Amino acid sequence: MDEQDTAAILPEDLLSASSADDQLSDSEDRKDEAGLPTATTLAPPSCRCPVPVSVEPVLFLSMFSLALQAPLTTQYLWDRISEDLGYNGSRRSGCSNSSVDPDPLQKEVETLTAHWNLYISLGGFSVGLVVVPLLGSWSDVAGRRTVLILPNFGLALQAVVYLVVMYLKLPVVCFLVGRLLSGLSGDFNAVLAGCFAYVADISDKRSRTFRVAVLEACLGISGMLASIIGGQWRQAQGYINPFWLVLATNLASALYAYLFIRESVRPDPSARLLSARHYKAVWRLYSTGGISGGAPLHRGKLWLYTLCFFLVVAVHFGTRELYVLYELSSPLCWDSALIGYGSAALNLAYLSSLLGLKVMQRCLQDSWVALVGLVSNVTGLVVFSVAHTTQLIFTGYGLCFLFMASTPVLRSKLSKLVDPSEQGALFACVACVESLCFLVGSSVFNSLYPATLHFMKGFSFLFAAIVLLIPAAIIGALQCFDQRREHRDSAS
Closest by CA position to 343, among listed 238, 230, 235, 261: 230
| Residue 329: DSSP 8-state | S
Under a CB-based contact definition with an 8 Å cutoff, are residues 111 and 454 in contact?
A: no
Total of domains in the chain: 1
Within a domain: residue 78? yes
Within a domain: residue 463? yes
Core vs surface per residue 294-332: b (16+ CB within 10 A) or e: beeeebebbebbbebbbbbbbbbbbbbbbbbbbbbbbbb
Q: Where are the alpha helices (DSSP H) in 143-204?
A: 145-168, 174-184, 187-202
Please give the distance of CA 192 from its chain centroid, rounded to a whole number.
7
Q: Could you list the pLDDT tens digit for every one of the 492 residues in the chain? A: 444 443 333 333 333 333 333 333 333 333 443 343 444 333 344 344 444 468 999 999 999 999 899 888 988 998 888 888 888 755 444 455 445 556 788 888 888 888 888 888 888 878 887 888 888 888 888 888 888 999 999 999 999 999 999 999 899 899 999 999 998 998 888 898 889 889 888 888 778 888 888 988 888 788 778 877 887 888 888 889 999 999 999 999 999 999 998 888 888 777 777 777 777 777 777 776 655 555 566 778 888 999 999 999 999 988 887 888 888 877 888 887 788 788 778 878 888 898 999 899 888 888 999 999 999 999 999 999 998 888 999 999 999 989 889 999 999 898 888 877 677 778 878 877 877 887 788 888 988 988 888 889 889 999 999 999 999 999 999 999 888 888 787 776
State the Cα–Cα distance between residues 126 and 439, nearest whole angstrom. Answer: 7
37 forms beta bridges with: 31
Within a domain: residue 152? yes
Residue 151: partners with Cβ closer than 8 Å, 6 or more residues away = 62, 135, 182, 185, 186, 187, 188, 190, 191, 194
**What is the CATH classification number for the domain harbouring 240?**
1.20.1250.20
Report the 10 Å Cβ neighbour count for 348.
19
Within a domain: residue 169? yes
Within a domain: residue 387? yes
Under a CB-based contact definition with an 8 Å cutoff, are residues 327 and 448 in contact?
A: no
Within a domain: residue 278? no
Within a domain: residue 210? yes
Q: Which domain holds residue 374?
A: 54-87+102-265+294-483
Under a CB-based contact definition with an 8 Å cutoff, are residues 242 and 233 in contact?
A: yes
Within a domain: residue 21? no
Under a CB-based contact definition with an 8 Å cutoff, are residues 435 and 131 in contact?
A: no
Strand boundaries in 179-327, DSSP class E = none
